[in-house]
Amino acid sequence: MKVGDLEINTADLSVRRKGKLVSLTAMEYRVLEYLAHRPGAVIPKTELLEHLYDFNWERFSNVIEVYVSGLRRKLEDSGDSKLIHTLRGQGYMLRG
């Protein structure tokens, strides 16, 4: 999958930005891959939680914010364009 200058190889679970390999945790990868399946679409936090955990997640948990923060730190070095956008009260969007 490709979104802007971000490449996600679902065969070997690798991620590259501008050709440079980015090391992600398993959960960061799952969040990113889920967002990448629908680039430009707003994905609600509850949908991401359901995708990651199936059940037994706390409605007001900040785990998604933690993963998104880690992804931003790893993918959006200074000078790079923003990939993951937060739409307050709505969810997250991946846009290249």
Amino acid found at 83: L
pLDDT band at 90 (very low <50, low <70, confident <90, very high): very high
58's tokens: 């706390």
CA distance 25 to 32: 11
The 8-class DSSP code of residue 54 comes to S
CATH code at 2-94: 1.10.10.10
Interval 15-73: pLDDT, tens: 999 999 999 999 999 999 999 999 999 999 989 988 888 666 666 578 889 999 999 99
C-alpha distances out from residue 71 to 55, 58, 64, 77, Å: 23, 21, 10, 11
**pLDDT at residue 77, as a whole number:** 77
What's the rounded Cα separation, in Å, for the pair 60 and 66?
Answer: 13
